[in-house]
Amino acid sequence: MKMFGELFQEADWKKEKHIPVIECAEKVKAGEFFPVKVTVGKEIPHPNTTAHHISWIAVYFQAEGEKFPFEVGRFDFNAHGESMDGPDKGSVYTGSEVTVNMKVTKPGVIYVSSQCNLHGLWSSQKELQLG
């Protein structure tokens, strides 16, 4: 049996459409809000159809010296073109991109995970410094 952490896949986001890409400043001011943008399918677009889509993105922050990360937010994507007329005939689709504003008081690491309904769990991380 695999440990839960072993279920998460990682790769180069420029070559793999499932990787959550984290975009934010590398250094931020303590106690000031800053945007963190997460995109799945940044370089290679993810299809986001009824049959193949990103279900959710979750963002976490683990401050330096702290034992556990905190969940910053979880974002569910529920519209993938489903319709009473059949798959991909609906009038609304969601893209797999979110922006969350957050502030920190310590440096640390932003962790992001995402779920593709066909290809499982994916993750990435980015160090965050105070400056």
Q: Which CATH superfamily is domain 4-130 in?
A: SOR catalytic domain (2.60.40.730)
Number of H helices, E strands in the chain: 0, 8
Residue 66 has pLDDT above 90, yes or no: yes
Active site amino acids = 16-18, 46, 52, 116, 119
pLDDT at 15: 85
For the chain, which residues make up each domain, given as ranges?
A: 4-130
Give residue 9's pLDDT band: very low, low, confident or very high (50, 70, 90).
Answer: confident
pLDDT in tens, 97-116: 999 999 999 999 999 999 99
Coil, strand or helix: which one is 95? Answer: coil
List of E strands, the chain: 20-23, 27-28, 34-40, 54-63, 70-76, 97-102, 108-116, 120-130
